[in-house]
Amino acid sequence: MATATDRPPPARHRASAKPWRASPAAALQAAAWAGGIAVLALWWRDTGSVVGAAGWLTGAGRITGLLCGYMCALLVALMARVPWLESRLGSDRAARWHASAGRWTIGLLLAHILLIVLGYAAQAQVGALRELGTIVFDLPEMLKATAGALILLAVGYTSVRAVRRRMRYETWYHLHLFTYAAVFLGFSHQLAVGADFVSNAPARAAWYTLYVSVACLVLYFRVLIPVRLNLRHRIHVEAVVPEAPGVYSVWMRGRRLDRLDARPGQFLRWRFLTPGMRGASHPYSLSAVPRDDLMRITVKTLGDHSAAVAALRPGTRVWAEGPYGALTAARRSRRKVLLIAGGTGITPLRTLFETLPAAPGDLTLLYRARTPQELALSGELEAVAAARGARLVYVLNNPDGSRVRITAERLRAIVPDVDRHDVYLCGPRGLSLSVYDALRDAGVSASRIHHESFEL
């Protein structure tokens, strides 16, 4: 493991105050619903009278198929990692939307398959299995569509939380990428056999426009932008420094790193180009404001990838994507700010603690850890607190090892006017949920509790 004998000093940087901007979530949801209504209008326009069980089954199959195709486009758009979307919406909310879109897509796909097979079987007056074989092997583009459907179902299965937790992240990540192949394989059958597209040129043009636009988003933001970033900045590992038991900082050197446009509180996705680590990218927050030639992340050894970080050698090339995340000063709406960190949740909050514009006494950092030895970056935090006139409060377990909970009463004891603060929260899921409840009980509005989760 490489170490640094002279740790680079913190960057002398202060984030400029920016006006708070409302989340675009409502507008984006309205646009998505409007697209869904347009799809239903297309079906309604092309559908005459529906007669008998076969007609109803086939009509329902067409509706679910159209909506499934539309959801596939939305699903891939949410995989494009558009920086504007992630910085305004929040990466955790974008991930939740993606997961929700995935569930809808799988549900609609299963309904489409079942309803179309039953409807066609009723029309032909044959058994469902026999009709399924006819559809797959006789209709144009259906073999490719079947392969795409099977891939989507497999990806959906591995995304179930109970299944996903038993898989290595790298395995889940690579399986998830097959979503692109599944959507590509299924696209052509929509136009070849879809009754709403076969004789409707404007509808075909609109469908092509939707899918080509989404493909351009993915190509630009998942391929071209990262290539440009890494060719421009040429990032490599400078040193790995132990910070606490099982916690390591990785200093990275590159060119013009201050032009990454990474704001305090944001993260990048990192791929270390060394055997065993180049296969997948992982999100880690910046734990220091980037300088012209240096930047830093701080990682706790929780899995195979994070454990391997400790063994990185100087000179290892790094592939970065981003920056992402909305846990920034732009979400602030009050003069007073409380930062609450647990474990390595300190990493994004450490940069905010250094850079958030605040008068002496208006900024407080509450850092939860089990023991004093687990307080990563404590020396830097204490130096920042002293220089800025900010408060730094450690919440540790009792001497007998019993856990100290952060309750509404404890929050009011530490920050009596906590209900008049903006609160930034980052930590393990269990801690974040309990502290969120405590903040609400202490009178803090939900709109002023800013948090972001990096869990799968």
Please tell me the least confidently modeled range out of 57-61, 347-351, 401-405: 401-405
Examine the pLDDT at 445 and tell me if it is beyond 70: yes
Q: Which band of pLDDT confidence, cut at 50, 70 and 90, is reported for residue 443?
A: very high
pLDDT exceeds cutoff 60 at 163: yes
* Better-scored residue on pLDDT, 354 or 51: 354
Residue 315: HSE in the Cβ half-sphere, 13 Å Cα cutoff = 0
Let me know: does 321 contact 268? Beta carbons within 8 Å: yes
Evaluate if residue 5 carries a pLDDT over 80. no
The candidate with the shortest Cα–Cα distance to 338, out of 232, 426, 206, 245, is 426
pLDDT tops 70 at residue 12: no
Tell me the mean pLDDT in the region 123-140: 90
Helix, strand, or coil here: 83? helix
The confidence band for 453, taking pLDDT boundaries of 50, 70 and 90, is low
Of 14-28, 273-287, 428-442, the range with the highest mean pLDDT is: 428-442
**Tokens read off for 311:** 């063994």
Residue 332 neighbours by CB distance under 10 Å: 22
Instruction: Give pTM, 2 decimals.
Output: 0.79
Mean pLDDT of 230-259: 92
Q: Which residue has the higher pLDDT, 177 or 339?
A: 339
Position 297, amino acid: I
Per the DSSP assignment, residues forming a β-bridge with 394 are 367
On the question of pLDDT at 358 being above 50, the answer is yes
Whether 246 has a pLDDT exceeding 80, the answer reads yes
How many CA atoms lie less than 13 Å away from 366 in the CB half-sphere?
24
| pLDDT at residue 56 is higher than 50 | yes
| Residue 454: per-residue pLDDT | 55
Statement: residue 97 has pLDDT above 90: no
pLDDT for the residue 3 = 39
